[in-house]
Amino acid sequence: MAGTTPENFSEWLQEASQAIGAHSAACIRLDNPELRKRIEQNNALTAEWLESGKQGEMDYLERLFPDKSNPWKTFPFAKSVIVLCFTNDWGDPAATHPFPMPGSDALLGYISAYAKEKDYHTNGQAMLAALKEKLGEGVEAEAAVDTKAVYERLFATVGGLGIIGGNDLLRVPGRTNVRVFIGCLFIGAELPEVILEPKMPFACDDCLACIKNCPTDAIQFGQPIDARKCISYLTIEKRSVLNQQEGEMIEDWLFGCDWCSVVCPPKDKIDTRIPIDLEWLMKTSAGELRRTIKGNATSYAGVTQLRKNAVILLKKKSAKSRQAAGLLDWVDSHTGSELIRSQIQAW
């Protein structure tokens, strides 16, 4: 940060964030009264949401709540926080992934487009490490990219990087058809605030495309999301057996869901989901699959979770497909996973 003054810090921050590959950046002082007010409001809403049980099996959210609710205690050294938004090529048709291309006659399941390129946690941490280096030696800092107890979206909105859409994702100006991730760098120095003013072309309540496009009604206008109905939750976070209703809900998804994000205006013109050959997923050795997904967002779910979801897709396809029925029988006779066997027998 050599040569930087309070007067030109805003310009320095934007240049530095773009140099490391971020879309935009803001800086908030931890003594900002608006930040404290917003966190107190969010704490009340979160506590009510947790009490309602809408978090499903995500017990860690309740465990992390005390730390999320009090960043001043969680990051006691911090006096400022820099918030970054970055795309990780989410929504870019040219983005790559490690999965083999299925054949024309393959039984298919789908993975969310955000699982393309390197895992966003890794890229975000690298960006924040580079930013910390630019701040100079001796600056105490701690990074968080969806890995620690932080209200990332709240910090992003307080910093003026965007607004929260009906689908609870951050919507940013200038990139309304490209989704973003958020990283926070908590810093033990009193930096000048950089609060932006997001100029959105229209308000979310003038659109509601994400709500209309949710096939399970997990999103309701003006209400917190019911994770128990969310396809992303069911395919990624719910690690137990899915009942038949939940199995129908996930459609042909193996990991995540894009339906509420691809319609955030303008609607994506092409399908950017990742198609997966279910036979490849079930018959490839677990070791090789783990090597394939290493460094990919799907590694969070793991091989068994992906295969459990594949079993559900095969069960739904087997009534009309001998190929699916045959593969399901093969899995039943070869799997060593009690979870997968329980999912086969569930309904």
The predicted pLDDT at position 337 comes to: 97
Structure tokens at 290: 């783990």
What are residue 83's DSSP bridge partners?
Answer: 26, 184
Q: pTM for this structure?
A: 0.94
- C-alpha atoms less than 13 angstroms from C-alpha of 53 in its C-beta half-sphere: 0
Peptide bond into 33 cis (omega under 30): no
d(CA 222, CA 52): 16
d(CA 327, CA 124): 39
Place of tokens 């339906």: 259
The predicted pLDDT at position 234 comes to: 98
The predicted pLDDT at position 266 comes to: 78
What are residue 274's DSSP bridge partners?
Answer: 111
Query: Helix, strand, coil shares of the chain as percentages rounded to 5?
Result: 45, 10, 45
Per-position DSSP letters for 100-155, written without gaps between them: PPPPTT--EEEE-GGGSSS-HHHHHHHHHHHHHHHH-TT--EEEESSSSS--HHHH
The predicted pLDDT at position 51 comes to: 97
* Sign of torsion over alpha carbons 60, 61, 66, 70: positive
pLDDT tens per residue across all 347 residues of the chain = 555 667 799 999 999 999 999 999 999 999 999 999 999 999 999 999 999 999 999 999 999 999 999 999 999 999 999 999 999 888 888 899 999 999 999 999 999 999 998 899 999 999 999 999 999 888 999 999 998 999 999 999 999 999 999 999 999 987 555 589 999 999 999 999 999 999 888 888 888 999 999 999 999 988 899 999 999 999 999 999 999 999 999 999 999 999 999 998 778 888 999 999 999 999 999 999 999 999 999 999 999 999 999 999 999 999 999 999 999 999 999 999 999 999 999 99
Structure tokens at 274: 């990742």
Give the DSSP H/E element, type plus range, for residue 13. Answer: helix 9-19
The predicted pLDDT at position 269 comes to: 86
d(CA 325, CA 306): 18
9-103+116-204 placed in CATH 3.30.300: no
